[in-house]
Amino acid sequence: MRLLEYQGKELFAKAGIPVPRGRVAATVDEAVEIMREHPRPSVVKAQVLVGGRGKAGGVKFCSTPEDVVEPARAILGMTIKGEVARRILIEERMDIRQELYLSITVDRASKRPIIIASAMGGMDVEEVAATHPEAIATFRVNPAAGYWPYIGRRIAKQAAIPGSVMGQFVDIAGKLYALFFEVGAMLVEINPLAVTRDGALVASDAKVDLDDNGLIRHPEFESWRTDLPDHPLEQRARSINLNYAYLSGRGDESVGVIGNGAGLVMGTMDAVRAAGGEATDFCDIGGGAKAEVVRNAVDIVTADPRVKALFINIFGGITRGDEVARGLVAALDGGTWRKDKLVVRLTGTNEREGRAVLEAAGITAVETMSEGAARAVAIAKQG
C-alpha cells in the first residue's frame, strides 16, 4: 500500500525526521484558509501516488492567500500519469541549497534492508544510477545487528554528502531505518532530502510503500486505505474480502479470469494471452471457496464493461468441484451474465459431481486450460 506524500510525512514527523510544516486541502477555499492562517512562502503539491509531479506541473509556489488560488485550481483535479489529484499539500517553502537522496528498501539478493544515498537528489535516481553510478552509495544492513551511526557516516562519505550536515544525516538515516521496520515498509524514500540555506536537513518529499502482508498488524493505517485511488471494483471486492485486481488493458474485448489460487489465475491469464486474447480482470476465490464467494466473484468481474467472456478455471483440491459448480449456477441464475459467454474448466476433487451440476444447468465444462483459453478468446472477440 503506497502512501500519499502527506501521509508519509506524518510518519516521518512522528519518527523525528524533520519535515516542513504543512496541511492538506481538498478545495480551493480550504487552500485559501490555510494560507490566511499561515501567510508565508509556500509550496502547493499534488497528492498523487505517482512520482515526477514536479516535471508534470504538480508542484507550484505561492506566498499569499490571494496567489494560492491559481495553483490550487490548476492542481486540484489535474491528471498526472493517469492519476487525478484530489488533494493538495500546502507547506512552508524551504530555501533549498542542495538536494540529497536517501532511501531504504529490501535487497532481494542479500535479503537485507539496503540504505541508498546520493548527493545528487531531486531527480530520477534511476537516471543518476545510469549516468553517475559512482554518485550512489549503498549499504546492506545486517538486520540482526541493526543500524549504527558508523553505517550512516560510511554511506555519507561514499555519497559525498556535505560534512556540515553529517550529524543530521546519520541521525535521519537511523530514524528512517527504525521507521522502515516499525511500519513494515517495502520502501521509504526521501527525494529530495533538502539542505536548507540555514544548513538544516529537511525531508522535502516522502514516498512510503507499506507491505500489504503486514497491514494486519497496523490497524492504524486502515483509514488511509480509503484514500487510495483504487478502482471502484477493487474497493467493492476488498469490502467483501475477495482477491480481485482490475488491470489496465488496450481494448474492450477482454476475458475475465476467475480461479482458485493466485498462481492458477496468473497462469490462466497467460494462457489467454498466449491464445491471442487479453485478460484484464484477475479474481482469486482462494481455497475452499463456497457458492456465495463464486457468485460475488462473477458479479464483480462481469461488472467490468471491458469483459466480454468469462473463463473460470478451477482446480479442485480443497475446493470441491460441486460446491463451485453450485455457486456458479446460483450466480448465473441471479445475474444477467449469459451462459454462452462463459467457459468453465473444472478438474480435481468432486470433478464428476461438479460437471453434472453444470450440465444440468446447461453449462459444458472444457477439458484443458488451453482449450478453455482459446474458446474464451473466440467468444470475447465476437464482442
Range in contact with ligand GDP (rule: CB under 6 A) among 49-57, 212-220, 268-276, 349-357:
49-57
Cβ burial, residue 170 (10 Å; 0-12/13-18/19+): buried
- The reply to whether 94 sits near ligand GDP by the rule CB under 6 A is yes
Do the bridges between strand 96-107 and strand 112-118 make them parallel or antiparallel, or are there none, so unpaired?
antiparallel
Picked from Mn ion, ligand GDP, none, the partner binding residue 52 (CB below 5 to 8 A depending on kind) is: ligand GDP
Helix or strand run (H / E) with residue 329: helix 321-334
- The reply to whether 57 sits near ligand GDP by the rule CB under 6 A is no
Picked from Mn ion, ligand GDP, none, the partner binding residue 362 (CB below 5 to 8 A depending on kind) is: none
Cell of 247: 488491470
Residue 189 designated active-site: yes
In whole angstroms, the minimum distance from the beta carbon of 52 to Mn ion comes to 8
Q: What is the three-class DSSP state of 210?
A: strand
Picked from ligand GDP, Mn ion, none, the partner binding residue 349 (CB below 5 to 8 A depending on kind) is: none
Strand arrangement, sheet containing 365-366: 243-246, 278-284, 254-259, 307-316, 342-348, 365-366
Report yes or no: 314 and 365 within 8 Å, Cβ to Cβ.
no
CA–chain centroid gap for 275, Å, is: 29
Helix or strand run (H / E) with residue 35: helix 28-37
Q: Which is nearer to Mn ion, 91 or 205 (CB)?
A: 205
Range in contact with Mn ion (rule: CB under 5 A) among 185-193, 208-216, 256-264, 368-376:
185-193
Report yes or no: 346 and 355 within 8 Å, Cβ to Cβ.
yes
Range in contact with ligand GDP (rule: CB under 6 A) among 45-53, 155-163, 176-184, 372-380:
45-53
- The reply to whether 191 sits near Mn ion by the rule CB under 5 A is yes
CA–chain centroid gap for 200, Å, is: 32
Helix or strand run (H / E) with residue 283: strand 278-284
d(CA 325, CA 383): 25
Cα dist from 19 to 48, 58, 133, 337, 370, whole Å: 18, 19, 28, 52, 54
Report yes or no: 317 and 286 within 8 Å, Cβ to Cβ.
no
Range in contact with Mn ion (rule: CB under 5 A) among 21-29, 170-178, 191-199, 319-327:
191-199
Cis peptide bond upstream of 192, omega within 30: yes
Residue 220 designated active-site: no
Q: Which is nearer to Mn ion, 83 or 252 (CB)?
A: 83
- Comparing CA positions, the residue from 180, 117, 189, 125 lying closest to residue 147 is 180
Of 189, 253, 323, 351, the active-site residue reads: 189
Of 5, 6, 101, 147, the active-site residue reads: 101
In whole angstroms, the minimum distance from the beta carbon of 202 to Mn ion comes to 13
Picked from ligand GDP, Mn ion, none, the partner binding residue 204 (CB below 5 to 8 A depending on kind) is: ligand GDP
Range in contact with ligand GDP (rule: CB under 6 A) among 48-56, 62-70, 161-169, 258-266:
48-56
Site string for ligand GDP, 205-234 (x = CB under 6 A): x-----------------------------
Q: Under rule CB under 5 A, which residues in 201-240 are in contact with Mn ion?
A: 205
Tell me the residue length of the chain: 383
Q: Which of 47, 103, 204, 319 binds ligand GDP (CB under 6 A)?
A: 204
Q: Under rule CB under 6 A, which residues in 162-191 are in contact with ligand GDP?
A: 191
Task: Write out the catalytic residue numbers.
Answer: 101, 189
Binding-site ranges for Mn ion (CB under 5 A): 191, 205
Binding-site ranges for ligand GDP (CB under 6 A): 43, 45, 51-54, 59, 93-94, 96, 99, 122, 191-192, 204-205
